[in-house]
Amino acid sequence: MWTGPIRDRRCAAQLLHRVEHFRGRVWSIVSDEVRLPGGAVVTRDVVDHPGAVGVVVLDEDDRVLLIRQFRHPVGGYLMELPAGLRDVAGEPPLVTAQRELAEEAGFTATDWHVLIDFFNSPGGSTEAFRCFLARRVTAIPGGRPHTGEAEEADLPQVWMPLRDAVDAVLAGDLHNPTTVAGVLAASAARDRGWSTLRPADGPMWDLPLGTAPHAAE
C-alpha cells in the first residue's frame, strides 16, 4: 500500500539511448532506452509533443462556448473548447490561451484562471495540457482573424448552458478530451463556489519545447 502523499511527483528516468523515427511539423516519434527509477532498463516509444492549452469560456448566463471542428484522425466533426498547441518557444501558457481564444473564436476575456492541468496520454506522449477558465468575455470587432489553415477555415460556434454540456459529456455526445475534462472541471469548480481556481500564471508541470522529460545521460 502507498502511504506517501497523494499527488503526482516529478522523477525522470535516465536516458541511455534514443532513436528518432520521425520528425514532423508539430511532434516527433522516438524510441527511448531508459533506466527506470526502480533500476529496470526498458525501451519506450514516445510522441515528443510541445503541449497545448484550452479555454472554458463562460458568459454571464453560465453558458460555455463550443466550436465545431473537423478532426481527420478520428474521422468526424467534434464540438470542442477553443484550444491550441504550445508551439511558440518561450510563450507563457496564458498568452497562448489568449491568442488561441482570439484566433479560433474571436473573443477576448478579462478574467482568467487555471482550471485544471493534465497529461493527455502519459503512457506514450509528453503532451502536457493546461485548461483555463475565461470569463467577462468580449467579442472582437469584426470577428476572429482567419488563419487560413484548412481545418480552421470554418469553425461554427454555439453557446451551451454548462449544465447541458455536462449532460452531453456524460451521455457520450462529446468526445474531445479538453472538452470532457474542462466542462466537468468547470461544473465541479462552480459547485465549490469557484474556490478551487488557481492564478492564471501559476506554476505548471511543464516540459521544454521539443524535449522529452528524461534526465541527462
The number of helix segments (H) and strand segments (E) in the chain equals 3, 11
Q: Which amino acid is at 77?
A: Y
Helix axes 162-170, 177-191, angle to 10 degrees: 130
Return the C-alpha cell found at 9.
511527483
Return the C-alpha cell found at 151.
481545418
Q: Which domains does the chain have, with CATH numbers?
A: 14-48 (no CATH), 52-199 (3.90.79.10)
Helix (H, G, I), strand (E, B) or coil at 53: strand
Helix (H, G, I), strand (E, B) or coil at 169: helix
Q: Return per-residue pLDDT of the chain as tens, 217 residues.
A: 999 999 999 888 899 999 999 998 888 999 999 999 999 999 999 999 999 999 999 999 999 999 999 999 999 999 999 999 998 888 999 999 999 999 999 999 999 999 999 999 999 999 999 999 999 999 998 777 665 566 666 789 999 999 999 999 999 999 999 999 999 999 999 999 999 999 999 999 866 544 555 444 3
33 is catalytic: no
Q: Which candidate in 33, 151, 152, 217 is catalytic? A: 152
Provide the 8-state DSSP code for 62. Answer: S
